[in-house]
A and B are shown apart, each in its own frame.
Chain A
Amino acid sequence: MRAIRRRDFLSGAALAASSTLFTGKVAFAGSDTRPRFVFIILRGALDGLTAVPPYADPSYARLRGEVAIGAPGAPGGALRLDGLFGLHPSLVFLNESFAAQELIVFHAIASPYRERSHFDGQDVLENGCARAHAVQTGWINRALAALPPDRSARRGELGIALGQNVPLVMRGPAPVASWSPSHLAALDEDTLQRITDLYSTDPVLSQRLADALSTQSVADASQDDSLMAAAGENPPAQLLASREQPKARGAPYKEVIHASAEFLKSPDGPRVAVFDALGWDTHANEGGAQGQLAARLAGLDAGLRMLKQDLGPVWRDTVVMIATEFGRTAAVNGTRGTDHGTAAAAFLLGGAVHGGRVIADWPGLSARALYQGRDLAPTLNIHSVLKSVLAEHLAVPGRALDTSVFPDSAAAKPLPGLIKA
């Protein structure tokens, strides 16, 4: 039995959709300006006061002690955004993006969640509701379901989760895909066909298998094309092998970023991608300008730079939202770290962003201003930001935003003008 690529299997099986893979590309070449959206979940609660230090707040240095980030100009000091805020010195690409007016920084932002459990906090960030476990679907999926059908997307899949499984934010009625790099050999056509038959009476497994084959064929095609372009008609073996090389230092998200870009660039691929970045739960030895969190931020920053490079011209039509479940305590704790808090920082990045701005109704860090005497107080509901992004960028109907996408959220008005007109 000859092992063949799944892409060949698909076309061999005469799936009508697969033909658009080739014809579609020509038709769209150079003219594909569909909006793209990437949502990156920083799981573990990013310390917003280190990522975006309010260096000029009179209480900041005192509360933060040895993990405080210095003022701009000081050694290891913040990268200046305005007279109050800076970026952590590791966030070099974000700083460049701010200067290029492709970044909005939000501060004192929070979901409606007001307790301090990571897992419920992430649930609320993803379910788009006022409380945890209110529904078993996510706001991105429900937003995709509210869009008119897009016939350019294969199997109607407008969303993709980069990972083996689909996170809550992407689960729901709209068809979505998941993808993760495979280091195993592809199956031969005959065996795949028999498994497909075996799954024909199993709605879940037949759907998953069909999705996987469809997604994989896009990935294979994009991968082949980009490698071909780089190496001529006969890609040398080492280029092909580069898919399996270990993660580059400073770019822990290399593989996932590269794949996201390939999918989003594909003319019949998804328009919305979601992935996780882990490791933000800095209870101890968090570090300041250098150290544990600084290294994580540098990795994220390098990954975002890579995403822009990989997306090429599509970056112009891209918006990336980077958010976390909640912030961390205003004061450093007894172990040179920070415990679970409330309001945090978030970022909106991309060629389509009307950027170069910090949006924050700053509550201050005085003892009186802190939420429950310990956390940065929330003054901006993340739903206001997300509604605006979904409406202005993806053209999700406003009525759906207030009802199905973010249920009972009419009080959270969209924050207009986040996307370039």
Chain B
Amino acid sequence: MDDPTLAGAIAANRFGLGARPGELARVGSDARGWLTAQLGGGAPHLQGSELRNSADILSQALELRRANHDARAAQNADAAAVMKVAQLYKPIYVDETNARLGEALTTERPLIERLTYFWTNHFAVSVDKVAVSGLAGSFEREAIRPHVLGNFTDLLLASTHHPAMLLYLDNQISAGPNSPLAQRAARRASERRFGINENLAREILELQTLGVAGGYTQADVTSFAKVITGWSISTKLGPLAGGTPGQFAFQPEMHEPGAQLVLGKRYAEGGVEQGVAVLRDLAQRPAIATKLARHFIADEPPREAVEHLARAFRDSSGDLPTLYRALIGLKDCWSQKLAKFKTPGEYIISGLRGLQIPDSFADKARASFALLGQRIYAPGSPAGWPDRSADWDGSAAVMKRIEWADALGQKLGTHRDAAQLAPQWLGGAMSAATRTSITRAASGSQALTLLLTAPEFMRR
């Protein structure tokens, strides 16, 4: 960190969302201090009068589904007129992404937004499942943001309690084979069979806590799935009605009774508390250090860096600010130069921030994410978006970035001065070749395109 202008550029780009003009000056000579200061100031809540809570959204969706069902059952001629859930969810998705993007374009705590995205991607839900498409935004606001500066245990508990996660991984309908519901159905010789769905239990173990090499077995997956039977959602009608519709509800009727053995430990029957107890234990040793180091340092992070982070997690019992301070303090974060190829989302946001695009532009910017291959809230799998260069630097992907940059250059070339912006984006990370290329550009538009496509701006 001999060169403060390089350290500032690393702070704003590797740890932040890309420098807005003036940001590097504010970072000044104390890059680590600038980052650490962002850890103060409370949870990164996202405000907006248009943003609705998930219970409100989901209860409306449940009513709609009921109305659709009734209209179809009655062969009502107006059935087609009843709004579908997907139609309800679409404008909600728009509002949520506008708010999220607007914050990204203007925030003065970019590190905290990056950490929010990191955890949202760790506890991934994906809007390509329609049932989740109206809830991904509220999931991030309700389950992730309040705990980004808290403890990992609370993050895991909040995520597992959230309707979006329960719906995404099918747990809301998972019922124990010996649950009261299943037993009644069997007695009535009902055609409807009830039993477990192990999707959520498996992905919590594999992706959210222990990791795929974490030493659990199929038997652990099955018994953990039994433990969290009954973790579901309230409805207004039907056999499990009660509570506030659209909110998390523990349904004793669906819960598999009895003690369960998970990872060699016996968990006594305790209703919802049985699941909470397992989650609390799982939260003690998540395979998170490598993932965090990979995200902020390099695709293949140094082993000592990973061990340092794992220790910080363990010693603080999962206190996340402690973990982040350990990360910021790692010398590898500051010595590895431009080691990470930006994801499409990081690339777009950094470009728009650098160009001082106002948050009112968020609505127009949304399509860029899909175009460049990273539609917001749509990782497509519970593993979340991948995080290595090879996942993002395909030739078609690079070409798309260049075309996108050029479109932006064409549009803004007469309003922005690339030569004046370049040092404000890249500071000490700017190469002589990039500087020369921008200076010699044939037009303002071309200069801007060259800045946006510069190798050191493709990376962070």
State which size class the interface on A falls in.
Answer: 35 or more
Closest to A214 in B: B395
0/1 string, A117-137, CB within 8 A of B gives 1: 111100000000000100010
Q: Which residues of A contact B199 (CB under 8 A)?
A: 283-284, 339
CB-based contact A209/B170 at 8 Å: no
Which residues from A are CB-within-8-Å of B207? 119
- Known contacts: A165-B373, A187-B402. The answer to whether A335 contacts B396 by CB under 8 A is no
Of all chain A residues, the one with the shortest Cβ separation from B455 is A202
CA distance A283 to B433 in the complex (A): 53
Q: Are B455 and A186 interface neighbours, CB within 8 A? A: no
B346 at the interface (CB under 8 A from A): no
Report whether A334 and B175 are in contact in the complex, using a CB–CB cutoff of 8 Å. Answer: yes
B373 touches A334 (CB 8 A): no
Query: A211 near B433 (CB under 8 angstroms)?
Result: no
> A209, B402: Cβ atoms under 8 Å?
yes
A343 to B317, CA, bound (A): 41
Is there contact, CB below 8 Å, between B398 and A117?
no
B interface, size bucket: 35 or more
Q: With both chains docked as a complex, state the minimum distance between the C-beta of B140 and any C-beta of chain A, in angstroms.
A: 22
Q: Kindly identify, within residues 307 to 340 of chain A, every residue whose CB is under 8 Å from any CB belonging to chain B.
A: 332-335, 337, 339-340
Q: Within B298-344, which residues are at the interface with A (CB < 8 Å)? A: none
The residues in B between 415 and 460 inclusive whose CB is less than 8 angstroms from any CB of A are 433-434, 437, 441-443, 446, 449-450, 453-455, 458
Stretch at the interface among B21-29, B107-115, B190-198: B190-198
* Chain B residue at smallest Cβ distance from A334: B195
Given A184-B371, A197-B437, A334-B195, does the pair A209, B399 have CB atoms closer than 8 Å? Answer: yes
Check if B434 sits within 8 Å of A171, measured CB to CB.
no
Most buried by B among A115, A216, A283: A283
- B394 in contact with A333 (CB, 8 Å): no
User: B206 contacts A163, CB within 8 Å?
Assistant: no
- Shortest beta-carbon distance from A245 to chain B in Å: 17
CA gap between A164 and B343 in the complex, in Å:
12
* A197 / chain B contacts, CB cutoff of 8 Å: 437
CB-CB < 8 A to B394: which residues of A?
161, 163-166, 178, 208
Question: Taking the nearest CB of chain B, how far is it from the CB of A91, in angstroms?
Answer: 24
**Which residues of A have CB within 8 Å of B381?**
43-44, 118-119
A118 with B383: CB separation less than 8 A: yes
Query: Nearest CB to that of B341 among chain A residues?
Result: A204
Would B455 and A198 count as touching, CB distance under 8 A?
yes
Instruction: Kindly list chain A residues whose C-beta atoms are within 8 Å of the C-beta of B400.
Output: 164, 180, 182, 184
Binds A, one of B62-70, B74-82, B85-93, B403-411: B403-411
Q: Which of B169, B195, B392, B393 contacts A333 (CB 8 A)?
A: B195
User: Which of A191, A284, A332, A337 has the largest number of chain B CB atoms within 10 A?
Assistant: A191
Interchain CA distance A190-B193 in the complex, whole Å: 66
**A43, A186, A195, A215 — which one has the most chain B CB atoms within 10 A of its CB?**
A195
Q: Does A116 touch B at the CB level, under 8 Å?
A: yes
A65 in contact (CB, < 8 A): yes
Known contacts A166-B390, A337-B170; is-contact A205 B404 (Cβ 8 Å): no
Q: How far is the CA of A333 from the CA of B198 in the complex (A)?
A: 9
When distances are taken between beta carbons in the complex, the residues of chain B under 8 Å from A190 are: 442, 446
Does A372 contact B395, Cβ atoms closer than 8 Å?
A: no
List chain A residues, Cβ under 8 A from B373: 164-165, 180
In contact, B437 and A184 (Cβ under 8 angstroms): no
Chain B residues near A108 (CB-CB < 8 A):
none
Does B257 reach chain A (CB closer than 8 Å)? no
Which residues of the other chain, B, contact A368 by a CB distance below 8 angstroms?
none
Does A15 reach chain B (CB closer than 8 Å)? no
A-B contact pairs, 21 of them (CB 8 A): A65-B193, A117-B212, A118-B383, A164-B400, A165-B392, A165-B393, A180-B396, A182-B399, A182-B400, A184-B403, A184-B406, A191-B446, A195-B450, A195-B453, A208-B394, A209-B395, A209-B398, A278-B380, A334-B175, A339-B199, A374-B218
Binding site for B on A (CB under 8 A): 1, 43-44, 65-66, 115-120, 132, 136, 161, 163-166, 171, 177-180, 182-187, 190-191, 194-195, 197-199, 201-202, 204-205, 207-209, 211-213, 215-216, 278, 283-284, 332-335, 337, 339-340, 372, 374
Give 14 new A-B contacts, CB below 8 A, not counting A194-B437, A215-B395, A334-B177: A1-B443, A117-B206, A164-B394, A165-B393, A166-B390, A187-B402, A187-B406, A194-B446, A195-B449, A195-B450, A198-B434, A335-B173, A337-B170, A339-B202
Interface positions of B (Cβ within 8 A of A): 169-170, 173-175, 177, 182, 191, 193-199, 202, 206-207, 212, 218, 221, 371-373, 380-381, 383, 389-400, 402-404, 406-407, 433-434, 437, 441-443, 446, 449-450, 453-455, 458
